[in-house]
Chains A and B, each alone.
Chain A
Amino acid sequence: MSPVLSIENYRLEYRSSGTAFRALDDVSLTIGPGEVLGLVGESGSGKSSLAAAIMRLLPPNSREGGGTIRFQGEDLRAMGPRQLRSVRGRRIAMVFQDPSSALNPTLTLGRQVSEVLETHRGLTPPEARAEALAMLRHVEIKDPEALFARYPHEASGGEKQRVVIAAAFACHPELVLLDEPTTALDVLTGARILELVRRLRAQIGMAGLYISHDLALVSRVADRIAVIRGGRIVEEQPAATIFRNPRHPYTRLLAEAAPRPDRRLTTDEAGAEPLLGLDSLSVRYDRRGVFRRRAATGAENVSFTIREREVLGVIGESGSGKSSLARALAGLVRFEGTIRFTGRSVKGPGAMDRAYRRAVQIVFQSPDSSLNPRQRVREILARPLKMFGGNVAEIPRLLDEVRLAPNYAARYPHELSGGEKQRVAIARAFAARPRLVICDEITAALDVSMQASVIELLLALRAAHDTAYLFITHDLNLIAEVAHRVAVMYRGRLVDLLPVAQLREGDVHPYTGALIAASPLPVTA
């Protein structure tokens, strides 16, 4: 059978201020009818450029350096704007990463699906409406009639992504490009969307290109997987076998780096002495309106104790209160309740003295915003050293501890990669010689391989300094690798607090059970 999509020796370059950057180098891929190809790569690997090339949505500074992109035997590169319009949306559809920016905020959700049907299938408005409603029902929207009239800001992220998927599948396209469709969603919603994609695929039988950075996730939806690095396809093989026998060293690295619940990275036990305790800690955000006051709850009555040298994992989806907890402990938000620390009670951010602020350090999620872009690494590290009784001469040692060369001290943050920035942020936290470091989703913005090395670094630092960690993440597999105990947050409340080993023994809160079920396990069998 002839392939739906075949790409041969395709090259693509971006030019900016006189220099050329090769985004895709000699890429050849084919997707057969009804086949889903997974394209796995880290940021900057060229995977999104490939999707843009197929959709013919290349930015003006791109130059194609030869090769062909054939869709059902027709050369997409040779098509004019009119022909492309008849292909896009109708025969090749795309699902984007972020549903909130993929939908037009000024149109109702229903209209965004029915419009596609009117344009591409020539339906009359009443027909399109009926068909759109059927499509919304098809993507498991609970009350399609109600959602039809709502605007994007009135729907949840999961609902919006379902609408995007409904619009993409509405014309029964021959090929669907899915560009990280679950990355912007939380774990449970993402798992449900993934399930939906699998079901639609089975029903409609279209061909697909599923782009993701997550090898484990892709191995669950794709038939074959292509691994891309630096614009080159380094390996291609069936999804069922890629975890078991990765051939290319880079694929092996990706497979190794993916967190696995059956592997333990923390081998020692936590200490017995309590280090820091929370007594019914609540965080409330006051939203002042003109006529009414609304209080949004960040965290409600959370109590637990972190022991010396313990790695306590905190898990929950966005809005569950896990970051509010971190911000309360770091003294960034007002809270009710008490923090017990070395025998003293702290009742608010004002009561946190220098000793507390030295002992409890925080590392933030986004490496781009956590370092001041106008300060050199040296200044960033010097400040906590000066404040907490260190010596500026220790900077090379600090950098060495986070495995950065001493000459990094003279650099500005924009000269560092995401992983390097995060190492500097970790060095800044350790400059204060802390007892507890709060890690707030510190690997969420990093690539998988980078994530693995940052985790390894954290554990090495813990071994050297006997630091305890409050490790906040949405990745259950990661927690299973590093934490001693796990705290599960749900809608601001602590619903479970148990040793990691008991996670899979079944005696958990229903929400925890759902999280466990949603965590993608690599296909290793």
Chain B
Amino acid sequence: MNGWLHQLIRTRHGVLGLIILAPVALAVVLGPQLAPNDPNAISFLARFSSPSFHHWLGTDEFGRDLLSRILVGARESVGTALSATLLGTLSGAILGTASAYVGGRADEAIMRTIDAIMAIPALLLALLVLSTLGKGATDATLAIAISFAPGMARITRSVALAARHQDYVSAAIARGEGSGWIVFREMGPNVIAPVVVESTIRVAFAVMLVASLSFLGLGAQPPAPEWGLMIAEGREYLDQAPWMIIAPGAAIALTAIGFNLLGDGLRDALNPRVGR
């Protein structure tokens, strides 16, 4: 399995994605240690100061250092997006594989339900879920996961359906294996590649969804340094301190682009049929 990493590095998209995501990953892991200031330290003397030597990205209306807030907030913004995607992908993939394996009426019922859910835009669905669950970071994660699961289930099912008709699955049924073994051990590993690709691209969406939800006041709550929330707070001071929006906005955009490129690279690396 070392091969795919090698292949990834050989795709232009993949390399670019990795380069963009490296500082993001650093911020997620070491953000609080790297931050020059306390992200929540209020300083009335430094309110709305533009980017300078002391505050590289400027400060907000409470004089909080934006660079520090972005570095510390990476963990929440990107972490929430990652865990939401992981949760949504995993549940969607299992549902899709199982649906393809069982087939027949159950498959039909699951897929039609999923079609219905997929007709609702992800953000709207997330809002709907949040309005029942209440607001907060964990609930936002759950809401995004739920809105991602149907799409993942659909993609996984189509791959799993192809695997379902392979003779190795027939061989497993013929020797009397249980459904669990067949879904997880025989079919699972063979549907994983497209799922990984799709979920990487979806992280980009998730980053934006998390930001959107926070922006709308349904995700992270102040004074958390979440990027979307930072944009929401900076909105009022757009004309006097545009850096309050530009800094977190750029962080969100870069992360989204990075994951998108990485996903494209992975798609090429994991799929030998795509000519290089």
Contacts and interface: CB of A to CB of B under 8 A. Distances in A.
B10 to A, nearest CB: 9
B176 A364 contact: no
B175 A374 contact: no
B170 A372 contact: no
Contact of A331 (B173, B189, B190): B173
B186 interface: yes
Interface residues of B, number: 14
Interface string A203-238: 000000000000000000000000000000000000
B56 interface: no
Interface core residue of B166, B171, B177, B189 (most chain A CB under 10 Å): B171
A388 B174 CA distance: 13
A370 B168 contact: yes
Given A352-B176, A357-B176, A387-B176, A428 B171 contact: yes
B239 interface: no
B174 A330 contact: yes
A369 interface: yes
B168 A357 contact: no
A370 B167 CA distance: 4
A354 B176 contact: yes
A354 B175 CA distance: 8
A370 B190 contact: no
Nearest to B105: A288
A107 interface: no
Contacts of A354: 176
Interface string B165-197: 011101101111100000000100110000000
B273 interface: no
Nearest to A17: B276
Question: What is the predominant secondary structure among interface residues of chain B facing chain A?
Answer: helix
Interface string A6-20: 000000000001000
A365 B168 CA distance: 11
A327 B165 CA distance: 13
A365 B166 CA distance: 11
A357 B189 contact: no
B167 A357 contact: no
A434 to B, nearest CB: 10
Contact of A332 (B173, B177, B189): B173
A457 to B, nearest CB: 19
A343 to B, nearest CB: 20
A384 B175 CA distance: 7
Question: What is the predominant secondary structure among interface residues of chain A facing chain B?
Answer: loop
A298 to B, nearest CB: 15
Given A369-B168, A371-B168, A387 B276 contact: no
A362 B174 contact: yes
Nearest to A367: B167
Nearest to A365: B167
B171 A364 contact: yes
Given A372-B190, A374-B189, A387 B175 contact: yes
A357 B174 CA distance: 7
A362 B171 contact: yes
Interface string B188-222: 01100000000000000000000000000000000
B7 to A, nearest CB: 10
A289 B186 CA distance: 30
A373 interface: yes
Nearest to B165: A369
Interface string A236-254: 0000000000000000000
Interface core residue of B170, B174, B276 (most chain A CB under 10 Å): B174
Interface core residue of B166, B168, B170, B186 (most chain A CB under 10 Å): B168
Given A17-B276, A330-B174, A387-B176, A366 B190 contact: no
Contacts of A365: 167
B190 A374 contact: yes
B174 A331 contact: yes
A371 B276 CA distance: 27
Given A352-B176, A387-B176, A432-B175, A364 B170 contact: yes
A372 B168 contact: yes
- In order of increasing CB-CB distance, the 4 nearest A-B pairs are A374-B189, A370-B167, A364-B167, A330-B174
Interface of B: 166-168, 170-171, 173-177, 186, 189-190, 276
Interface of A: 17, 327, 330-332, 352, 354, 357, 361-362, 364-366, 369-375, 383-384, 387-388, 425, 428, 432
23 contacts: A17-B276, A327-B170, A330-B170, A331-B173, A332-B170, A352-B176, A357-B174, A361-B174, A362-B170, A364-B170, A364-B171, A369-B168, A370-B168, A371-B168, A372-B166, A372-B186, A372-B190, A373-B190, A374-B190, A383-B177, A387-B176, A425-B171, A432-B175
Given A331-B173, A370-B168, A383-B177, 20 more contacts: A331-B176, A332-B173, A332-B174, A357-B174, A357-B175, A362-B170, A364-B170, A364-B171, A369-B166, A369-B168, A370-B167, A372-B186, A372-B190, A375-B189, A384-B175, A387-B176, A387-B177, A388-B175, A425-B171, A428-B171
